Amino acid sequence: MTNTTREEVFVTEKPFETWFAYSAGTVCSEFLTELRDNKKILGRKCPECGRVLVPARPTCARCFRQTEGWREVGHTGTVVSYTAVYEPSPGRDNVQPALFGIIRLDGADTGFVHMLGEVDPKDLRVGLKVQAVFDEERQGDIRDIKYFKPLK
């Protein structure tokens, strides 16, 4: 065998569909249970940097310390970034465009990525105050919050 590199690269394009199971772990399971049963949005506090992480995580990505203690944060927050997606995607209603935001919930120190609704894309801006809209039939899924809408 020679130590050469092939210059011919094959590319295959085919549809890819898969199902998977996701184990949320104890911290995220508690987060999702409170979201489903009590409409509470919970974070965890990092003992090193003091940040409240939402959604709740077992470890701080900045300090690599295990988080401690639960903190309930508000249903309201501020859009810190957003985008519009014009491509359809499985698992959502395919409203065009789909709007996604990073929301800093009141009482949290991290961004919460979620959908935005009941808002015209031209009215979106960084700093927009928003509030969570919960699904009436919650299942212990991040989509128990349907989306965040502008606060009136």
Residue with Cβ nearer Zn ion (62 or 92): 62
Residues that bind Zn ion (CB under 5 A): 46, 48-49, 60, 62-63
Return the residue matching tokens 């039939």: 137
State the minimum distance, in angstroms, from the CB of residue 58 to Zn ion.
12
Residue that has been written with the tokens 């998977």 in this structure: 20
DSSP strands (E only) in the chain: 41-45, 52-53, 68-73, 76-85, 98-105, 112-116, 129-134, 145-150
State the nearest-atom distance from the C-beta of 145 to Zn ion, in Å.
Answer: 25
At 75, list the tokens.
């249903």
User: Which residues touch 7 (CB under 8 Å, ≥6 apart)?
Assistant: none
CB of 128 to Zn ion, least distance (A): 27
Is the Cβ of residue 49 or residue 126 nearer to Zn ion in the bound state? 49
Q: Beta partners for 82?
A: 101
At closest approach, how far in Å is the CB of 65 from Zn ion?
Answer: 6
Which residue, 46 or 115, is less far from Zn ion as judged by CB?
A: 46
Which of 44, 41, 42 lies closest to 59 in space, CA to CA? 44
Our CB check for Zn ion shows the closer of 10 and 64 to be 64
